[in-house]
A = this chain, B = another copy of it.
């Protein structure tokens, strides 16, 4: 598979997060000769928060994680992930597979099953070959190491063309708090999360309830503002684990909130940059809306429009299609108060193309890899930003034969 042209140069060096150990390996769930299972062990006292897909047909692991979230128990925590098969729409067998994996991990680590969170990502509707996975658990436990995060990022990939990771540090009262995160996802990506698995680790100290609130708030500004293809996965899971090992209480810390926001936004952008077939990274900024909710509606309508996305794939500054997408969004809009910009280029205003706009400038702008489409609705102060990619032949090629 060709690496996305929008990929970062290299996987970053991520700091060790005290209290977190990783292991990964190849269980042969679906892929041959590549890592497809990841185990994370979190030290005793770690608080864990999670946000999950709202799909009505969510997967067995998601349902299991949700049932365990917020339970307070002493002792260590484990996260176990496989790629290649999502264990979604697998009926009663799906639940049995989750239980089998949790039991195997519990036995090998001596962690309580209620503190073992699993995730599965990949094809929907096929029985998870959990025996193959369980056969690897002892090896994984033996391999646990504070340095394994880069390999873990590889093990959770499906159609991803690059592993995704980022980190941040923040100094609070003279003490350093570290955050490191990994993510996977490149198709079936839309708000209410995506085919995404995201794991963020920090040595900060924070209660489960506060971490959960913070995670939910920041998800709405990051992962819920990206879309590749408007399709929402049955498996989306975002978890954040705070080991407390730094000894720094970050409750209501603005610095920690900003650092976590930066990590989550960076990972969300990396998911878009790996959008299936993507050649352009697009930021859609909406201002002047009747409300923030209306701004989001307009942003998503533009970002999800196949006609806008194919025009951008063709490097065509087809602002008429942006007008169309605004019109269909359901948000309050007035043709004659709209302003549309490509980057700094004023394209349209007062219900028509701007007198200063030159098509040559628009065409030149569209040749860039990172694009900004800014729409001001001229109604009130509602704001919102959404990130997406173009819709290209690559998306069709990848998805017309994903299973074969």
Contacts and interface: CB of A to CB of B under 8 A. Distances in A.
Interface of A: 53, 55-58, 86, 88-94, 123-126, 187-188, 190, 192, 229-234, 304-307, 310-311, 313-314, 316, 318-321, 323-329, 331-336, 338, 348, 350-353, 391-393, 395-397, 399-404
Given A56-B332, A93-B352, A327-B56, A401 B316 contact: yes
A399 B306 contact: yes
Nearest to A58: B327
A334 B56 contact: yes
Contact of A306 (B306, B319, B321, B402): B306
B229 A306 contact: yes
A230 B304 contact: yes
Nearest to A195: B324
A56 B307 contact: no
Given A90-B352, A313-B396, A316-B402, A234 B327 contact: yes
7 contacts: A56-B333, A56-B334, A91-B336, A125-B319, A125-B348, A231-B306, A306-B306
Contact of A324 (B57, B310, B328, B399): B57
Contact of A328 (B232, B323, B333, B338): B232
Contacts of A320: 86, 88-89, 123-126
B323 A89 contact: yes
Given A229-B307, A307-B231, A57 B192 contact: no
* Minimum-distance CB pairs A-B, first 9: A124-B320, A314-B400, A57-B327, A91-B352, A55-B327, A232-B328, A310-B399, A125-B320, A91-B351
A402 B351 contact: no
A102 B374 CA distance: 36
Contact of A323 (B93, B125, B348): B125
A89 B393 CA distance: 29
A305 B335 contact: no
Nearest to A359: B403
A391 B401 contact: no
Contacts of A324: 55, 57, 88, 124, 188, 231-234
A82 B161 CA distance: 46
Contacts of A403: 316, 318
